[in-house]
Structure 1
Amino acid sequence: MPSLGRRAFDLLTVTMLFVLLVHALHLPWWLSVALAVVAGGRWWQRRRGGGKVPASLRLPLLATLLAAVIGHYGTLFGREPGSAFAVGLLVLKLLEAEEPRDARVGIAFACFALMSALLFDQGLVASAVVSLGLIPALTTLCAVEDPEADQRRLVTQWKPVLFALLASVPLSVFAFLFVPRLSSPLWGTPDSGQAATGLSSRLSPGDMLDLMTDDTPALRIRFDGPPPANASLYFRAYTMQLFDGEAWTPGLRRTRRPPAQADYGPRITYHASLEPTHDRIVPLLDLPVAAPPDTELRADRTVLANRRIDDAVTFTAEAATRYRLEPTLDDGVRRDNLQLPAGTGPRARALAASWAERYGTDHAAIVRAALALFHADFSYTLAPEPLGRDRIDDFLFATRQGYCEHFASGFTFLMRAAGLPARVVTGYQGGFWNGRAGYLLVRRSDAHAWSEVWLDGRGWVRFDPTAAVRPERVDLGAAAAAEGAGGGTFGPAWLRALRNQWDVVNQWWSRGVIGFDSLRQQGLLRPFGVDHADVTDLAAVLATGCALLVAVALGWALLQRREGDALDAWMHRLERKLGRAGVVRRPGEGPKHFLARAARALPAQRNALERLSGLYLRSRYAHDVPPPESITEFGRNVRELKTRRVVK
């Protein structure tokens, strides 16, 4: 079997490196670097005349790859370790790629690895990058099948690949629309189980930093009517009632009673699209009036889905931004929301006790005193100093800097120490209103924590101590608050604006392509009178459409078909070149007489034309089939021929 040509091996290396680049974002950096070094070393070794790497080196590298993946991930199974091992095997395949069969196997595996990158990101940009990876892969296959690939210009091998990919688009779109879909996927991918939103049922100062610098979308909201003011956009996720001195957690009492009673003001209806969270929590605009379908409204007015949210979901909900929640407080709930761990925050307890003694039953005055303290003495930053053993006292009397979870935790502790039932609420606050597209974009970086204090006659009332420290966080959003506060990860304002506008495209892609499910497919034929297209209807449309597309492609191929072989194709090219110089082949004129007449008309090219005539006649008439090397030589001479127009 012939060895793999130089051009084919170079393209194979480019293909492997492209796959490695696509996966680099979720691979350990050291593994990406090591695999890139292996691929580059193999390319350099073969360029200097080396052959297949011996098994005595390949097998230890394979064992090292296996040990590295298991050592880093703890397993070989799952999305991350599986893709890391697959990409590693793909690069190691280069070490033994010396024959066309090896290249074909490598390209097939590379296409599979490209597709697996979509398990991590199915966005428009990621899908486009994966599609671009098909170009070097298919170009490699063309080079493998072409014995003259090393002599051809690379652009001549790209052109048929690009044309084939463009020609496949209509059929791909048609198959995407009409191949019958299942209501659920055939398989799932293991994951770490961590909520993609980063919102957790445990809150400790410092835990939310990674989330607050994550600029990926979490929610998209469309309102029936004008959107509420930014300061009213609080999306409740978790209600934290129990505190152990380090972290806040919801507690169990919320599951033992019906949803808390509420008196609602004006209601807002909205339509939400929630990105996958791999968790059951559903952030809803505060205060949710009722739970959407397939969800449950808990006692603390948080909402849980009946199953994990592993795919984007859409729902319609109703909320009241003005309300009176739980005007009468259950004794057990009161105890839960006054509980403080023994020995924690002695200085904070003393400060709160002084407020309670000074203001007595004027609970609103106690709240105002705490907010005034935060406003006067605290600063907002995303890079606060670390807290000591007693986090409450250390924050309130030493560092006095932080962000929302620090402020909410400290404020809630002070309220409880003063005798006021209080709790921490986490979720999202604010968002970017895209007036052109008409929806609110809530990013994960809009994650927020605030407090609720129970006041006699008013029920649970929201107080946001972060707004007392840095009002921009509530009025203008997370990015505005982060400017000058250690929040450089948000980028410049123009870049944030560009990302917000680009989200319109991402939303279209998410709804129109990723969110295209069996339910939407069944409604495709509704304009043609078929209200509910079943598998038979879809299969009939698919078969008819494919037949029409094949007929169109066949008709185009027949129109483009040329008589003759590759030698004749080069001869036609020579005729066109001589025709531009003024020497046109006459009807019925043989190649020998035509080229002889051209040599007389173009004396400066006489020797070249005589050589071309001899090459053509020997290639055409001295063999049953023109030899490939003769066709290559004739084609090279045609390309090199320089002509000038005949002056008459």
Structure 2
Amino acid sequence: MTEPALLLDRNSRTWTLASAALALLPLLLQLPTTLAALIAVAALVTAALSQRGMLPMPVRVLLVLGMLAAIVWQMGAVRPGRDTGCALLAAMLAIKSSELRTLRDARSLLGFALFSPFAAFLLDQGPLTTVLAVLAGISTLIALQRLVQGEGRSTPPPLSAQLRGVGRLLLIGLPLALACFWLFPRLATPLWGIPDRAVGTPGLSDTMEPDKWLDLMADDTPALRAQFFGAVPEPAQRYWRGPVLTQFDGHVWKRDRRTERLLPAVVEHGTDGWDYQIDYEPTDRRQLVALDLPTAAPEGSRLDAALSLSSDRTLSALSRWRLHSAPPLRFDANLSSYQRRAALQLPEGFNPRTATLARQWRQDAGNDDAAVVRRALAWITEDFSYTLETPAAGRDPVDAFLFDYKAGYCQHFSSAFVVLMRNAGIPARVVTGFAGGTRNRIGDYWVLRRMDAHAWAEVWLPQRGWVRIDPTAAVAPERILDTLDDRLQAGADTGLQQRWLQLGQVRDWMRRGWNELVLSFDARRQQQLLQPFGLDDLQPGQLLAGFVMAALLALAWMAWLLARGERERDPLLRAWHRLGQRYARLGLGREPHEPALHWARRVNAQRPDPGLITLSQRFADARYAGTCTELAPLLRDLRRHRPTSGASP
């Protein structure tokens, strides 16, 4: 007959649920806000309803179906991805407490909960996720200890004692963890593929559509961090070039894949340039940015004919790139016939008023393309305003922008300007990227946030080649009506806002330090770590052999500590052995077969020490006779006792 299952007591249940919630927290922070809130509410409701017993099967089935419906509602069912799987894990963990009744159920819930922090690392490897994961691990170990004590019906020790025990366990495993981090060979590509995210990470895209950038421009999370080695470009030069868009269907701008396969354009760069490195946040895309214009593609990337950088692999993790850029003096004087056609392409039947105006300007300017550009910029300065409040785009969005509401943001200005230039016979294209950046004074680097996303234009002028034109910057200052800064600062106290900005700089500096110390530890830095030991240019096989040796040593250390702790679990015996070690250093160690009192008398005969005889008698009474009722004073005296200073005869 099997023994009946042991039911959970209130204290063990509380620890189990709290540990599971703490393990769930880092994963919820990486999911969409609405979905995370629904999962959190489901977890609280399920825990409350199941306090008096396991929920009926129909209720549990309804909870599962409700969680699946919420995930499909927020992420869609067509394209499952990495975050979809993580959301499913979080949802199942949230309703797992519906069957929490016995000690076995509690162990199952805690073991299942430990998958949550590991899943969170698939979405974010930041310091907050790491700290929460460590706290969840510690809490789970304490909860498991309490379950063991509940099963043995023993009184749980104080929380401080449990924390010390968990701390010792973590320290025992630390050498093996460090060996894995420092010595396991860092591969250029993972051994298996990680699925893409179903909900795309905000970032620059290879398309631009009217009114579709506001979500990106309202996101203040970092897109990249840049550190300059030497001169820092002036604000007018801080344009970070990303995807170049050439194809236009009347509403959406797209990249021209055929042009990108051509060789990079020949550019004569100026002598003044900038050396810098960027730490690029993951986007699950391949597009990179570089200060306008990069002189060469760094290793692991390529430079296309539009002088736009792209990575050879998907940017699913933080990456670091060392670059050099310089302002262009002139491009190749010739534009191929295909590139010219691509840079003049316009769909038939769209924006007729813009086409009429451009032809009139061309007739007035003759062959002077620069005059057409100047006239367009002057018109923008005189009549146009900058605002985020724009009406929905109709069939002819450029006509509506240029002749009706005459207000918008960079997406509207760059698109309309390029269409106007093409109608005037001037090759032009849209360039997307970032502009500006904020200097972090603590770490002396620059932060570009996703809200710094920007779009500008390039036009082809004779004898000069491609020339950057930013029509948004031509808006008169008094006509800037509504910006992101205005919205972010609305109703904010100036002093409080300044303190918040300073705190934000500290947080970002700490995040960059974490990226530098942990996330950027790649194969190159692994080689540098071993160079002081005379180990240069190690092959993966040699690194793997070193890792195996270090891991075996760490495992041997762990086994010795665990065996030693098992042997000396009794604090009284441990204190007695340490006392004997002090005398062993003087050549007066106790023989394995020698009783405590015999050893004390022998030591006293060679080195008078009456206190040792008294301690030995008290130890023997406590250990073997069971006559000592107060162990604390004996433990204290054993730990404090030291051999007398008398010399041995």
Interval containing the TM-score (normalised by the shorter chain): 0.7 to 0.9
Counterpart of 2:547, as a letter, is L
Deviation (angstroms), 1:391: 0.3
Please tell me whether the aligned partners of residues 22 and 132 of structure 2 are also in contact (alpha carbons under 8 angstroms): no
Of 109, 114, 118 in structure 1, the residue corresponding to residue 117 of structure 2 is 114
More deviation, 278-287/58-67: 58-67
Deviation (angstroms), 1:82: 1.8
Tell me the alpha carbon deviations over residues 601-643 of structure 1, each in whole angstroms, 9 at most, x when there is no partner: xxxxxxxxxxxxxxxxxxx89xxxx9xxxxxxxxxxxxxxxxx
Deviation (angstroms), 1:245: 1.0
Please tell me whether the aligned partners of residues 47 and 98 of structure 2 are also in contact (alpha carbons under 8 angstroms): no
Please tell me whether the aligned partners of residues 294 and 323 of structure 2 are also in contact (alpha carbons under 8 angstroms): yes
Aligned to 2:572, what secondary structure does the other structure show?
coil
Match for residue 201 of structure 1?
A: 206
Go from structure 1 to structure 2 and tell me whether the alpha carbon gap of 1:61 and 1:256 turns closer, same or farther (over 3 Å shift): closer
Of 127, 135, 144 in structure 1, the residue corresponding to residue 147 of structure 2 is 144
* Match status 1:562 vs 2:562: no
Match for residue 549 of structure 2?
A: 540
Of 481, 500, 507 in structure 2, the residue corresponding to residue 502 of structure 1 is 507
* Match status 1:18 vs 2:31: no
Partners of 1:431 and 1:159 in 2: CA distance: 45
Of 161, 167, 170 in structure 1, the residue corresponding to residue 171 of structure 2 is 167
Partners of 1:349 and 1:487 in 2: CA distance: 40
Q: Taking structure 1 as the reference length, what is the TM-score of the superposition?
A: 0.77
Of 482, 485, 493 in structure 2, the residue corresponding to residue 483 of structure 1 is 485
Match for residue 468 of structure 2?
A: 462
Go from structure 1 to structure 2 and tell me whether the alpha carbon gap of 1:248 and 1:91 turns closer, same or farther (over 3 Å shift): closer
Tell me the alpha carbon deviations over residues 212-259 of structure 1, each in whole angstroms, 9 at most, x when there is no partner: 222222223333311111220222222222221101222244146432
* Match status 1:419 vs 2:425: yes
Of 2, 7, 17 in structure 1, the residue corresponding to residue 6 of structure 2 is 2
Match for residue 610 of structure 2?
A: none
Match for residue 639 of structure 2?
A: none
Counterpart of 1:2, as a letter, is L
* Match status 1:399 vs 2:401: no
Q: Taking structure 2 as the reference length, what is the TM-score of the superposition?
A: 0.77
Counterpart of 1:210, as a letter, is D
- Residues 331-346 of structure 1 mapped to structure 2, 5 A cutoff: 331-346=337-352
Identity of aligned pairs, percent? 35
Aligned to 1:407, what secondary structure does the other structure show?
helix
Aligned to 2:121, what secondary structure does the other structure show?
helix
Counterpart of 1:389, as a letter, is R
Match for residue 227 of structure 1?
A: 232
Partners of 2:47 and 2:198 in 1: CA distance: 40
Match for residue 274 of structure 2?
A: 268
Deviation (angstroms), 1:68: 5.0
Counterpart of 1:53, as a letter, is L
Deviation (angstroms), 1:264: 1.5
Match for residue 457 of structure 2?
A: 451
Please tell me whether the aligned partners of residues 46 and 95 of structure 2 are also in contact (alpha carbons under 8 angstroms): no
* Match status 1:390 vs 2:396: yes
Match for residue 58 of structure 1?
A: 60
Match for residue 196 of structure 2?
A: 191
More deviation, 425-434/545-554: 545-554
Partners of 2:36 and 2:285 in 1: CA distance: 30
Match for residue 353 of structure 1?
A: 359
Deviation (angstroms), 1:398: 2.0
Tell me how large the CA RMSD over aligned residues is: 3.9
Tell me the alpha carbon deviations over residues 267-325 of structure 1, each in whole angstroms, 9 at most, x when there is no partner: 33333332323222222222222222233322222233333233333333222223212
Match for residue 302 of structure 1?
A: 308
Q: Which consecutive unaligned segments of at least 5 residues does structure 2 have? A: 575-613, 619-625, 630-649
More deviation, 450-459/136-145: 136-145
Match for residue 622 of structure 2?
A: none
Deviation (angstroms), 1:454: 1.3
Go from structure 1 to structure 2 and tell me whether the alpha carbon gap of 1:551 and 1:223 turns closer, same or farther (over 3 Å shift): same
Tell me the alpha carbon deviations over residues 534-555 of structure 1, each in whole angstroms, 9 at most, x when there is no partner: 2223333444456567767888
Partners of 2:322 and 2:38 in 1: CA distance: 49
Partners of 1:518 and 1:492 in 2: CA distance: 41
Counterpart of 1:16, as a letter, is A
Partners of 2:519 and 2:476 in 1: CA distance: 39
Go from structure 1 to structure 2 and tell me whether the alpha carbon gap of 1:544 and 1:168 turns closer, same or farther (over 3 Å shift): closer
Aligned to 1:440, what secondary structure does the other structure show?
strand
Partners of 1:31 and 1:239 in 2: CA distance: 35
Tell me the alpha carbon deviations over residues 498-555 of structure 1, each in whole angstroms, 9 at most, x when there is no partner: 3344322222212321222344334433212222362223333444456567767888
Go from structure 1 to structure 2 and tell me whether the alpha carbon gap of 1:458 and 1:121 turns closer, same or farther (over 3 Å shift): same
